[in-house]
Structure 1
Amino acid sequence: MSYKIILVHVDESRHAKARMEFAASMAMDADAHLIGGATTGMSREFIEWIGFDEKALDLDRLSDMLRERAEQSLTQFEIIVRRTGVASFEKRLIEDDLSAGIAMQARFSDLVILTQSDPRDSASGVSGSFPETVVMESGAPALILPYVHDFKYVGERVLVAWNASPEARRAVHYALPLLERARIVEVVVFNAEAQPGIFGDDPGADIALYLVRHGVKVDVLQRTVTSDTGSALVALSNELDSDLIVMGCYGHARLRELLMGGATRTVLKSMTCPVLMSH
C-alpha cells in the first residue's frame, strides 16, 4: 500500500509555504501525484442565491478578486513543487467554500495535508474547525501539521492511539505506508482495565500482531490516566519524542455543526507534532 494521490490545501496563510514544502517532499518520497487545491471561498449555493440579486455586478467583482487570490496561491505552489522536483502534479482552482471544496477533493485522494488551525492567523480566513470538518465530511485520512513547528519529515517514531474503535482501525490502516517505514511504532491503550470487554486479556496485543504481520516494529504501552485522554496523548507524544500521532477522529456533524469528541478536540487544539487522523 502506498499514497499515490496526495492533496494539499493551498492558500496565502502564514503556514502555507511550510505545508506545501512538506507535501512536495512527501510526494517525492512516495512517487505520488500531488494536487494543490485552492478555493475561492464562495460556495456554489451562495453564488446561485445571490445571482438573482441586483447586486450581482458587485458579486462578479468579488468573485474575480477571490479567484485571483487563489490563482496566486497556486502559482506559489507550482514554484515550490517544481523546485522540489515532483514529477507529477496539478493545480486545482476550486470554486467553492473552503471546507466543502477541500473535503470534496479529498474524497478522491489517498491523503490530504492540512495545517492545525492557528488562532493568531486571523487573516487567513480559515475557521478553527476547518481540519476536523474536512476529516469528518470527506471520509479521507488527513495529515494535520502543527502550526508551532515546521516538520520536514514524519514517521521515524510513531505513536498510535488505540481504543479498538472503527475510527482508530481506519486510521491505522490509512497510516500503513508510514508505519511500515517507521523506526518504531508505539501503540498506547489508555485505561484498558476499565473496559475489559473491549480490549480483552492483553490490551493492544491484537492490533500489535496485525501491525507485525505488516512488517511494523511495535511496542505496546498501557497507561492509566485520570485526565482527558487527549491531553494524556499529547503529553505522551512529547515524552516519547514522537514525530507522528495516529488516531481516530471522533464526533459527528449535525446541521453543519460539528460535535467533536473530547480527545479529538483536545489534540487538535494542543498538538505539537503532526497527527494522521481518520473518521
Structure 2
Amino acid sequence: MTYKTLLVHVDQSSHAAARIKIAAKIAIAEDAHLIGSAMTGVSRYLYQDGVVFIESVITSLRAQANLALDQFDAIARQMGVNSFERRLVDDDAGGGLSLQARYSDLVILSQTDPDERTDDLITDLPEYVMLNSARPVLALPYAGNFDRLGSNVLIAWDGSMEATRAVTNALPILKKAKNVTVALFNTSKQFDVHGEQPGADIGLYLARHGVKIDVEQRKTDLDIGNALLSLAADKGSDLLVMGGYGHTRFREILLGGVTLSILRTMTIPVLMSH
C-alpha cells in the first residue's frame, strides 16, 4: 500500500500552516497528490433569513476560504510538492471532509484548540471524520511542534478490527520508520484475542512488509489512554497508531474510552482508523 491521494483540512486557524507543511512532507515522501480543502460552511445558511442575507454571507465565507487556500498554494509550491490542488467546498468541515476523504488515502487535520473556538467550529472534527469516512485520519495536536513525524512510531495493539485497519493504513509510514514499537497492555484480560505469545502474530505480519519492530507487553492500573501517552513519552515517539472506537447517533459522537482520552489529551500526532 502507498499513499497516492492526501487530503488536508485548510482553514484560517493559527495551526493551518503547520498542518499543511506536514501534509506536504508526506506528499513529497510518497510522491502523492495533495488536496487542500477549505469548507465555507455555506450549508448552515441555506434556509436562513432570505436570499439577500444568504448572498452576502456566502460571498464573505467564500472569500475567507479562498484566503486560506492561497496560503495552502504558497506552502505547497515553496516546499516543492509535485502535484497539488485547492478545493473550495460549500459545506461544513465535518461533512465536507468526510465525503472527500472517501476518495483519499489519508486525511490530515488538527485536534480542536479550545483557545480558538468560534460559533461555527466543529469541536469533534477528528472523531467525526474518522467515524464517517472509512479512511484513516492523522490528527495533529494543537500544542507542540511536530516537524519530525513517523521516525519513531508506537502502535497500540489490542487485536481488534479497528487496530488492524490502523496498522494496515499506516504501512507506508511504518516501512520508512527507524523504530516501531508494538505495545500491548494487560493481555491476560484478553485471552480470546491474543495467541500464546501476544504480539507475535502482528510482529510477523509487519516483518513480512519489511517493518522492524519491538514488542512490549505492559501491565497497568492506569486507563489505557494515559498509559499509551506515558509510554510514548518514555520512548520519544513521534506518532501513535491506533484503532478508533465509537459510532454516531444523529450528530452525536459516542466514543470508546481510550479513543476519547487520546483525542482529548494527545501529546503527539495520532493516526487513527475506525
Q: Distance in 2 between matches of 1:98 and 1:246?
A: 24
Distance 1:230 1:110, change over 3 A: same
CA distance in 2 between partners of 1:140 and 1:251 (Å): 14
1:208-247, aligned counterparts within 5 Å? 208-247=203-242
The residue aligned with 2:125 is 130
Tell whether 2:11 aligns with 1:11: yes
Q: CA deviation at 1:265?
A: 0.7
Letter in 2 for 1:267: I
Q: Quick check: 1:160 aligned with 2:155?
A: yes
Separation in 2 of the partners of 1:126 and 1:193? 42
Paired-residue identity, %:
50
Assess if the C-alpha contact under 8 Å between 2:41 and 2:93 holds in 1. yes
- Would you say 1:257 and 2:263 are equivalent positions? no
Q: Do residues 101 (structure 1) and 96 (structure 2) align? A: yes
Give, as a single letter, the amino acid of the residue that structure 2 aligns with 1:234: L
Letter aligned with residue 21 of structure 1: K
Cα pair 1:180 1:215 within 8 Å, conserved: yes
Counterpart for residue 137 of structure 2: 142
**TM-score normalised over the length of structure 2:** 0.97
Question: How far is 1:124 from its partner?
Answer: 8.6
* 2:55 corresponds to 1:28: no
Specify every segment of 5 or more residues in structure 1 that has no aligned partner in the other structure, as ranges.
Answer: none
CA distance in 2, matches of 1:208, 1:42: 47
After TM superposition, list the pairs within 5 Å mapping 1:112-131 onto structure 2: 112-123=107-118, 125-131=120-126
| Aligned positions, number | 274
Using the size of structure 1 for normalisation, the TM-score is 0.95
Distance apart, 1:153 and its partner CA: 3.0
Q: Which runs of 4+ in 1 moved over 6 A?
A: none
Alignment of 1:39 with 2:39, yes or no, is yes
Q: Distance between the aligned counterparts of 1:155 and 1:113, measured in 2?
A: 14
TM-superposed CA distance for 1:125, in Å, is 4.2
CA contact (8 A) 1:187 1:219 kept: yes
Cα deviation, 1:90-133, whole Å, max 9, x if unaligned, reads 00001101100011111110001011111111249432211110
Matched, 1:89 2:81: no
Matched, 1:266 2:255: no
- Write the distance in 2 (CA, Å) between the matches of 1:124 and 1:14: 17
Deviations 1:152-188 (A, max 9, x none): 2311111000011110000000000011111111001
Cα deviations across residues 231-269 of structure 1 (Å, max 9, x unaligned)? Answer: 111111111110100001100111121100110111111
User: Hey, what does 2:195 align to over in structure 1?
Assistant: 200
Tell me, in whole angstroms, the C-alpha distance in 2 between the residues paired with 1:99 and 1:24.
22
Distance 1:252 1:167 in 2: 12
Cα distance in 1 for residues equivalent to 2:10 and 2:148: 19
CA distance 1:125–1:21, change in 2 (3 Å): farther
1:190 aligns with 2:178: no
- Give secondary structure in 1 for the equivalent of 2:193: helix
Match in the other structure for 2:2: 2
Mind listing any 5+ residue stretches in structure 2 that lack a counterpart?
Answer: none
For the residues of structure 2 that align with 1:167 and 1:87, how far apart are their CA atoms?
32
The yes-or-no answer on 1:58 pairing with 2:53 is yes
